[in-house]
Structure 1
């Protein structure tokens, strides 16, 4: 079985729910889970083969929402 791709982001914590609902609207594309709500750290589990679609969605959302990719490192989170 192919596993999803995990990518961590720092987002405006007030926009976590909005971002989650947007990604869920694209059924089966990605799942957002909150790692640290106070710091706005989320992980997006991306379905295999959907990385380009998620990247395009996030690039578009960056026009209105603070979204910053962070390399995963437990000491940073």
Structure 2
């Protein structure tokens, strides 16, 4: 099983859907979950081998949207990242 890195970013609420669609276009690069919609905090679960690729994508996105990496917001409840099962499907 591949190790994942969990990273948090703050973006404008209006850019949530844009960022989600961009990340979905790079299938398998990461998964995005909204941690706090009102504050624009999103969580990315990134397979370790793709962490540098996500860094490059975030830098490119900064030309389009305001995006800042942040620490886990205090008091947040984080759900575990989905884990692949042997059939290739995901489950929590």
Give the alignment's TM-score, normalised by structure 2: 0.76
1:33-58 CA distances to partner (integer Å, 9 max, x unpaired)? 00111100000111120011111011
Q: Report the TM-score, using the length of structure 1 for normalisation.
A: 0.90
- Runs of 4+ aligned residues of structure 1 deviating over 3 Å after TM superposition are none
What 5-or-longer segments of structure 1 have no aligned partner? none
Cα RMSD (Å): 1.7
In the TM superposition, 1:1-77 aligns within 5 A as: 1-75=1-75
Question: For 1:19, what is the secondary structure of its paired residue?
Answer: helix
SS at match of 1:20: helix
Number of paired residues?
77
Larger Rg belongs to: 2
